[in-house]
Amino acid sequence: MGAASAGYFYNLTFVQLGLTDLGTRVVGLPEDRVARLMALLAGLTLLVALGTGMAMHLRRWSGVFVIKLRLLSVVVVLQTALTALAPGLRDEASLVGWVVAASVVLGCGVPSMFGLTCDLVPVRHRGTVAAAVTSAAFLPAAVFSSDWRIEQFAAQLLWLMVPGAAGLALLAFAPLPVTAELARQHQLRRYGAGRFVRDRVGVTGWPGRNFTLALVLMFSVYFVDSLGFLRIVDTPVYIGSAWHSTDPRILWAIGLTHVLAAVATGILYPALGLRALLAWIFGLFALAQVGYVLHALTTPELPATLGMPLLYAVAVSIYTVVNFALWADFSTPETIARNSALGVGVSGWLATFLSTSLSLALRSGGVPFAEHLRLVSAISIALLCVVLVLLVLPSGNRRATQEERG
């Protein structure tokens, strides 16, 4: 849980916000050049994640706990070194080299970290654990915000990463009894195969059409979020009254809203079908982004109400909980590396950083804030309509219906 929380916090802050600051402020690149670098990061990370996941799947390493743990340990050590080096970059060539190296490391980390879910988290508790991971990532990200500079992000994260890397390496490579015990857990029925797996024994083929649907829609969720969020946090009238406020009460309100929404989703996750959860997510995003558009068009000179970022925080926590639990619930220990590489690589990485790149490109191209958010709102509403149509369509057969309900 600690590794997952730290990893998500790292990607949310250091990679998405810190690299943008590094490229524009420190290295001095124009925003369109930074946008291309973010697209490079997204594409390479996806390719490495897919390659690593497929290699683990074909070599049958996906079900071997020790291999996944050791790969994750190496990833965290290398990521720690790259984090320490990042603030010292001063030219475009070194930044490109850093992005390529980071893409390889992050791509290897996706199937290794998420692949451990089948070994460490019982099926019935995956929603609860996902809620805890989400809360542990978003609460400090909201409350203990720095000035969003690469130097601050690196200093904050290294305090966590150095001891974490050392402890993980000890657990992975030392012959400890606890490691041997954990390596056998996935054989127990309460671990192993997820609740969306139709045949819970020996499934190694494609996980089914619901997996494909989840992949497309979760990509859309991450894309819509980043496309809107990066423009919102760069607009002073919004950031001053929300995520980058100097008032700690506002920061705590946003952080605690993340936690409450995550806990509620963790409780509801086992009871609700995937389509119902996605309908809530897209509905909240559409409502939040329409609120920002209306404010930008009517009273842009006035500070935004606190309700706008709080609603946004609820939507973000819901989809993050779902993303942490979902891919393991479509998997068995033998397929988790491949499925998580696809799920997290396509949704969490490709979508997030392609939309980051597009957001930077739109801003550098002079697209006004209101027009930018109007585009994001239109996409959100269209996706909400798609999910609402899926809610009323039959699942195809009784088995599919039972799979959808879990």
Per residue in 5-30, pLDDT (tens digit) is 777 777 777 877 788 889 888 888 88
Whether residue 184 has pLDDT greater than 90: no
Place of tokens 């989809």: 319
* Cβ atoms < 10 Å from Cβ of 140: 16
The tokens describing 386, both together, are 């798609």
Phi, psi of 370, rounded to the nearest 5 degrees: -60, -40
Classify residue 121 by its DSSP letter: S
The tokens describing 266, both together, are 């963790």
* Average of per-residue pLDDT across 339-348: 88
| pLDDT interval class at 401 (50, 70, 90) | very low
* Dihedral sign from CA coordinates of 47, 149, 241, 245: positive
C-alpha 151, offset from chain centre: 23
Whether residue 405 has pLDDT greater than 50: no
Say what the pLDDT of residue 395 is. 57
Angle between helices 150-173 and 65-85 (to 10 degrees): 150
Distances (CA, A) of 72 to 40, 67, 232: 23, 9, 34
Say what the pLDDT of residue 52 is. 94
Per residue in 273-329, pLDDT (tens digit) is 778 888 888 888 888 888 888 888 888 777 778 888 898 889 889 989 998 889 999
Classify residue 305 by its DSSP letter: P
The secondary structure element, H or E, covering residue 141 is: helix 126-143
Q: Which residues contact 49 (CB under 8 A, 6 or more apart)?
A: 106, 107, 108, 110, 111, 341, 344, 345, 349
331 with 194: CB under 8 angstroms?
Answer: yes
Whether residue 179 has pLDDT greater than 90: no
Could you give the maximum distance between any two Cα atoms of the chain, in Å?
A: 64
Q: How many residues does the chain have?
A: 406
What is the full DSSP assignment across 49-101?
HHHHHHHHHHTT-TT-HHHHHHHHHHHHHHHHHHHHHGGG--SHHHHHHHHHH
| pLDDT interval class at 54 (50, 70, 90) | very high
Vertex 63, ends 57 and 65: CA angle to 5°?
Answer: 125
243 with 233: CB under 8 angstroms?
Answer: yes
